[in-house]
């Protein structure tokens, strides 16, 4: 025990009018109380330090968890964006193929109409030729009939 503590406890005992015979017991009790108070204070400080370390650890764990969730969300969004991009490309390709098919169908229809028009022209020319030949044959027959009558 240091001299300052002895002086302090002695002064305290005088203020409290502690009898001389009980002075040693009083100082001993005060020392025990001070030691116990310091021990309790150290325990409290340890407890607070542990609690603070736990809070820090929990905060770090939460931050890590949130970061992981953010990364997972970001990854899901990237996957969704890629999926939508692929779907858009597929729709675009489907539309392109449909447009190409429509153009091909239109070309085929135009070709069919041209072929039909050509066929109609040929049929018309054949009909005219047939009519001309029939007319000539009729004229020849009339001429032959006239020649026969004469």
- The DSSP string of 43-100 is HHHHHHHHHHHHHHHHHHHHHHHHHHHHHHHHHHHHHHHHHHHHHHHHHHHHHHHHHH
pLDDT of 121: 96
Dihedral angle computed from the Cα positions of residues 45, 50, 55 and 57, in that order, rounded to the nearest 10 degrees: 150
What is the pLDDT at residue 1?
Answer: 63
Return averaged pLDDT per consecutive 10 residues of the chain, 150 residues in all. Answer: 79 83 81 92 97 97 97 98 98 97 97 96 96 93 86
Q: What is the pLDDT of residue 75?
A: 98
The pLDDT assigned to 18 comes to 79
């Amino acid at each position: 025990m240091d001299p300052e503590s002895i002086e302090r406890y002695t002064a305290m005992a005088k203020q409290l009018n502690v009898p001389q015979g009980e002075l040693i017991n009083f100082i001993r009790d005060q020392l025990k109380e001070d030691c116990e108070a310091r021990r309790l204070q150290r325990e409290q400080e340890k407890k607070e330090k542990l609690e603070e370390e736990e809070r820090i650890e929990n905060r770090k764990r939460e931050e890590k968890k949130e970061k992981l969730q953010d990364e997972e969300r970001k990854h899901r969004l990237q996957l969704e964006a890629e999926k939508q991009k692929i779907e858009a490309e597929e729709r675009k390709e489907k539309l392109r193929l449909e447009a190409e098919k429509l153009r091909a169908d239109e070309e085929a229809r135009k070709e069919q109409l041209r072929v039909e028009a050509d066929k109609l022209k040929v049929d018309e020319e054949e009909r005219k030729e047939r009519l001309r030949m029939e007319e000539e044959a009729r004229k020849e027959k009339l001429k032959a009939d006239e020649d026969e009558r004469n």
